[in-house]
Amino acid sequence: MNIQEKPATQGGILRPALVVFAILSLVTGLAYPYATTGVAQLLFPHEANGSLIEQDGRVLGSSLIGQSFSSPRYFWGRLSATAPMPYNASASGGSNLGPSNPALADAAKARIQALRAADPGNIRPIPVDLVSASGSGLDPDISIAAADYQIDRVARARNLSTLEVAKRVQAHTRRPWFGLLGEPVVNVLALNLDLDGLKATR
């Protein structure tokens, strides 16, 4: 006896697909995001909320996003090529300038001139991260070498001892994880805010 297969109806095909779609929507659209958000808020509340830096109940920025500093009183971060202004957190990106593009060299030369003008007596080589933009344009950190290069200028502008400023640099230096992953870096915003709370010592 031949058993003839019944042709699949449109409803028979759509029903399982809709069930799978609904289940996946609940799992990936609701359950997973709520679960990960809950775990993050429970274990890492500061990081989950943007690593915000607050002072007197006012949010001054995030330790993950660089800000523009131009006064000699402050440590300067990396160059930012975001548009239409530097350190625009809504338009993260690099300059996309190739090594043969004159505009790239011009930007580095302008920063070198600004650094030399702010500290004419400093004849040490300028660390490369002070004259080059990061890929994101929002890098919040500088190298220890870049921070050390600026210590004398900041100490002089604030009437602080270089030793006191150097101590603050060390306090805001983040070391590599487990001593292996990454390079030591200094968070510029946290360091500058810390310095604002100091009184002149000389």
Phi, psi of 173 (to 5 degrees): -90, 125
CA dihedral 177, 178, 179, 183 (to 10 degrees): -10
pLDDT over 70 at 195, yes or no: yes
Residues linked to residue 58 through DSSP beta bridges, in sequence order? 55
| Range among 50-64, 122-136, 168-182 rated most confident | 122-136
Tell me which H or E stretch contains 52. strand 52-55
pLDDT over 80 at 179, yes or no: no
Round to whole Å and give the CA distance between 154 and 202. Answer: 13
Percent of the chain surpassing pLDDT 70: 92
Residue (of 68, 60, 87) closest to 194 by Cα position: 60
**Are residues 50 and 64 in contact, defined by beta-carbon separation less than 8 angstroms?**
yes
Rg (alpha carbons) of the chain, rounded to whole number:
26
Domain spans of the chain, in order of start: 10-45, 52-196
Tens of pLDDT, residue by residue over 154-177, are 999 999 999 999 999 999 999 887
- Tallying the residues shown for the chain, one arrives at 202
Q: State the pLDDT confidence band at 72, using cuts at 50, 70 and 90.
A: very high
Tell how many helices (H) and how many strands (E) occur in the chain: 7, 5
Q: State the pLDDT confidence band at 200, using cuts at 50, 70 and 90.
A: low
The reported pTM is 0.78
What value does the mean pLDDT of the chain take?
Answer: 88
Arithmetic mean of pLDDT, 122-126:
94
Residue 21's pLDDT is: 92
Arithmetic mean of pLDDT, 124-129:
95
Round to whole Å and give the CA distance between 81 and 133. Answer: 6
Q: State the pLDDT confidence band at 49, using cuts at 50, 70 and 90.
A: confident
Tell me which H or E stretch contains 16. helix 10-26
Structure-block tokens of residue 185: 């870096």
